[in-house]
Amino acid sequence: MQIGFIGTGVMGNAIAVNLLKAGHTLTVFNRTKSKTDNLVNLGATWADSPKLVAQKSDLVFTMVGMPTDVENVYFNDDGIFAGLTANKTVVDLTTSRPDLAKKIYSYAKSHAIFALDAPVSGGDIGAKNATLTIMVGGELSVFNQIEAIFKEIGQTVNYFGPAGSGQHTKMANQIMIAGTMTGLTEMLLYAKAANLDLNKVLATVGGGSAANWSLSNYGPRILKDDYTPGFFARHFLKDLRIALDEADKMNLTLPATTEAKRLYEVMVDECHLGDQGTQGLINSYK
């Protein structure tokens, strides 16, 4: 199958590599061209715009940064929809706004194009090892057609309902992580202030009813002052903003998540630490 891939940052690049390894023919585009070099070396073809990628593809994946990037990549004059013909499929892997996923779906539907929203979790390691969790929204029949390809890039692939449902599930995921990250951060600050052996605290607390992935994975990195991004704090903040905007639209008040967003705003906007990983939150506490 002719596959297009737009957005080859850390995550997108690793996913594209797995699609190439699975034997697909890839046409690629990225804002910074050099980030497609390794893919071209593996046999992918460069195209000069999302539109040109779309013209050469049966299925186009996108994995870009912010919702505005998603909107541009799909709807600009040189965007995907300017180049895509009927019966082709688009899949947005970006974590983005549920209402934008619905907008893409509606536009696609009216042009006989198939569209799925399919944000992922599992980070750069999951992307590299094809162990991502993929949360899919859109029409079930379209999901069924693409499922085999999802399985080439991810391990847990689940369908959640109509357009936007993949994004909503990812937002639920990020709301949960907001809790584990703020809890981990404040737990370590408390334990440090109390002069406890932090390695021992992590081992003990992480072995019981407080156990969680963030503690096991980010706890030891924080103790080594390792704030290199598994997941950029500024991207996580973007996700929390989307989640809380959506919650607001559903008349839902989420005070703990709102507080987590505020704390990540301090980290990213006031302390300018958005290029650290989410575990860098601890650096913005006074």
Contacts to its own copies from residues 178-237, by CB under 8 A:
178-191, 193-197, 200-201, 203-205, 207-215, 217
Instruction: Tell whether residue 257 is a contact of its own copies (CB under 8 A).
Output: yes
Instruction: Tell whether residue 276 is a contact of its own copies (CB under 8 A).
Output: no
Bridge-based pairing of strands 45-46 and 120-121 is unpaired
Instruction: Tell whether residue 260 is a contact of its own copies (CB under 8 A).
Output: yes
Instruction: Tell whether residue 96 is a contact of its own copies (CB under 8 A).
Output: no
Give the count of alpha carbons within 13 A of 253, CB side only.
1
Measured CA angle at 264 (ends 262, 266), to 5 deg:
70
Q: How far is the CB of 150 from its own copies (least distance, A)?
A: 13
Is the CB of 82 or the CB of 187 nearer to its own copies?
A: 187
- Alpha-carbon span 175 to 137, nearest angstrom: 18
Residue choice 14, 19, 104, 175 for contact with its own copies (CB under 8 A): 175
Is the CB of 88 or the CB of 102 nearer to its own copies?
A: 102
- Alpha-carbon span 277 to 286, nearest angstrom: 18
Does the annotation count 170 as an active-site position? yes
Over its C-alpha atoms, the chain yields an Rg (Å, rounded) of: 20
The residues in 59-88 that bind its own copies, with binding defined as CB under 8 A, are: none
- Alpha-carbon span 106 to 115, nearest angstrom: 9
- Active-site residue (options: 51, 88, 102, 170): 170
Q: Mask of contacts with its own copies, 24-63, x by CB under 8 A? A: ----------------------------------------
Residue choice 33, 262, 269, 272 for contact with its own copies (CB under 8 A): 262
For residue 61, the Cα-to-chain-centroid distance in whole angstroms is: 13
Instruction: Tell whether residue 247 is a contact of its own copies (CB under 8 A).
Output: yes
Query: Which residues contact residue 32 at a Cβ distance below 8 angstroms, ignoring those fewer than 6 apart?
Result: none
Query: Which residues contact residue 85 at a Cβ distance below 8 angstroms, ignoring those fewer than 6 apart?
Result: none
Cβ atoms within 10 A of the Cβ of 225, count? Answer: 9
- Residue written as token pair 């697909």: 24
Q: Mask of contacts with its own copies, 130-169, x by CB under 8 A? A: ---x-x--------------------x-x-xx--xx--xx
Is the CB of 57 or the CB of 182 nearer to its own copies?
A: 182
Q: Is the CB of residue 198 less than 8 Å from the CB of residue 166?
A: no
Q: Look up residue 269 and give its two tokens.
A: 């906007």
Is the CB of 38 or the CB of 155 nearer to its own copies?
A: 155
Residue choice 23, 141, 225, 255 for contact with its own copies (CB under 8 A): 255
Residue choice 176, 220, 226, 241 for contact with its own copies (CB under 8 A): 176
Q: How far is the CB of 120 from its own copies (least distance, A)?
A: 9
Indicate the residue type of 143. F
DSSP H or E segment with residue 29: strand 25-29
Q: Look up residue 214 and give its two tokens.
A: 């963030």
- Alpha-carbon span 246 to 252, nearest angstrom: 9
Q: How far is the CB of 201 from its own copies (least distance, A)?
A: 6
Choose the stretch contacting its own copies; rule: CB under 8 A; options: 4-12, 18-26, 58-66, 239-247: 239-247
Q: Which residues are catalytic?
A: 170
